[in-house]
């Protein structure tokens, strides 16, 4: 989608982190912005900062887990700005969780509801209108390197992000088969400096548990990895380039690519997975 200026972008999880950086970048390209998020305070702050930079921006408070709220977002964006040209399905949470045991089953559900069902709802809700417009349009789904490499103790997150990669590949092929003018990209970063390690701030009260020693240790590792991660504006620049050039894969971290190659080699060589830590 070469033409950005004057067109409309809807960004979920737009109140902070990668979503907010995308809003700044697409605002700078002259796009009209609809930011949607569950966090009211940061959303208001984001809108204020973007308007101060001279961008046309509206906000929508919603929970991406709820289909009727995603539909209301689509209607609100269309009513305010007309045709929607760019949808960034980006809202997400980082959450650990091992596979064995039923204690954390509802936290698994919360993670997958946001990270995977939220993206499915976004695609299924927005696509009919974006296709019917008949104008160049684009969808960016935020996955992760965890959509290619499944670290231990990150089960629900890995499952959700592999799902987003699969959904995006499927959608890209479907759009080509149908000859539609909607491009698709999947964003797969390793660590980025955002609030992801504090995702539990949005956990429903009934799902809160006292942190265990193991959980605290894991949190400290995540804090350090995220703090040492890529700056958000670098990710946003890569997303913008991919939208303009219609690139499907957005792999922001070159140092993670060999691990994808190794995994592919392991699969075809019938080598069993071994534990590792990395992006």
Q: Which residues bind ligand NAD (CB under 6 A)?
A: 13, 15-19, 37-39, 42, 62-65, 90-94, 114-115, 142, 144, 189, 191-192, 194-196, 199, 202, 226, 229
With b for 16 or more beta-carbon neighbours within 10 A and e for fewer, the 47-59 pattern comes to beebeeeebbbbb
* Closer residue to ligand NAD (CB): 59 or 144: 144
Task: Decide whether 127 or 236 has the Cβ nearer to ligand NAD.
Answer: 236
Shortest Å, Cβ 220 to ligand NAD: 15
Q: How far is the CB of 78 from ligand NAD (least distance, A)?
A: 19
Question: How far apart are CB 114 and ligand NAD at their closest, in Å?
Answer: 5
3-state secondary structure of 230: strand
Least distance to ligand NAD, CB of residue 160, Å? 8
Sign (positive or negative) of CA dihedral 219, 225, 230, 236: negative
H or E element in which residue 32 lies: strand 32-37
Residue 83: which residues within 8 A CB-CB, separation 6 or more?
A: 7, 8, 129, 133, 135, 137
Q: Which of 18, 9, 47 is nearest to 233 (CA)?
A: 18
From 55, 157, 162, 276, active-site residue:
157
Active-site residue, 55 included:
no
Q: Which is nearer to ligand NAD, 55 or 157 (CB)?
A: 157
CA–CA dist 46, 234 (Å, integer): 18
Q: Which is nearer to ligand NAD, 55 or 62 (CB)?
A: 62
Distances, alpha carbon 222 to alpha carbons 16, 91, 101, 199, 278, in Å = 18, 19, 22, 11, 11
Q: What's the CA gap between 164 and 141, in Å, rounded?
A: 7
Task: Tell me whether residue 14 or residue 183 sits nearer to ligand NAD (CB atom).
Answer: 14
Nearer to ligand NAD, 84 or 222 (CB): 222
| Rounded distance between C-alpha atoms, residue 131 and residue 135, angstroms | 8
Question: Which among 223, 167, 245 is positioned nearest to 1, based on CA atoms?
Answer: 245
Task: Give me the numbers of helices (H) and strands (E) for the chain, helices first please.
Answer: 9, 7
57: Cα separation from own chain's centroid: 20
Residues with active-site annotation? 157
């Amino acid at each position: 989608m070469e033409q950005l200026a004057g067109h409309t972008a809807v960004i979920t999880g737009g109140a902070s982190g990668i979503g907010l950086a995308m809003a700044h970048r697409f605002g700078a390209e002259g796009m009209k912005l609809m930011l949607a998020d569950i966090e009211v305070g940061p959303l208001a702050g984001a809108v204020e900062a973007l308007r101060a930079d001279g961008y046309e921006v509206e906000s929508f408070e919603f929970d991406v887990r709820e289909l009727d709220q995603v539909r209301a977002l689509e209607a609100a964006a269309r009513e305010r700005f007309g045709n929607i040209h760019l949808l960034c399905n980006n809202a997400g949470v980082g959450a650990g969780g091992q596979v064995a045991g039923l204690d954390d089953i509802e936290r698994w559900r919360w993670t997958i509801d946001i990270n995977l069902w939220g993206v499915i709802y976004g695609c299924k809700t927005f696509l009919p209108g974006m296709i019917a417009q008949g104008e160049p349009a684009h969808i960016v789904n935020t996955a992760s390197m965890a959509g290619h490499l499944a670290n231990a103790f990150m089960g629900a997150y890995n499952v959700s992000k592999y799902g987003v990669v699969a959904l995006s590949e499927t959608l890209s092929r479907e759009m080509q088969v149908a000859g539609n003018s909607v491009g698709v990209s999947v964003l797969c970063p390793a660590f980025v400096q955002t609030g992801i390690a504090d995702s539990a701030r949005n956990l429903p009260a009934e799902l809160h548990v006292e942190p265990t020693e193991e959980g605290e240790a894991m949190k400290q590792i995540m804090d350090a990895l995220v703090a040492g991660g890529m700056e958000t504006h670098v990710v946003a620049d890569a997303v913008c380039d991919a939208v303009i050039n219609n690139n499907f894969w957005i792999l922001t971290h070159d140092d993670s690519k060999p691990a994808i190659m190794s995994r592919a080699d392991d699969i075809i060589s019938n080598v069993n997975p071994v534990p590792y830590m990395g992006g």
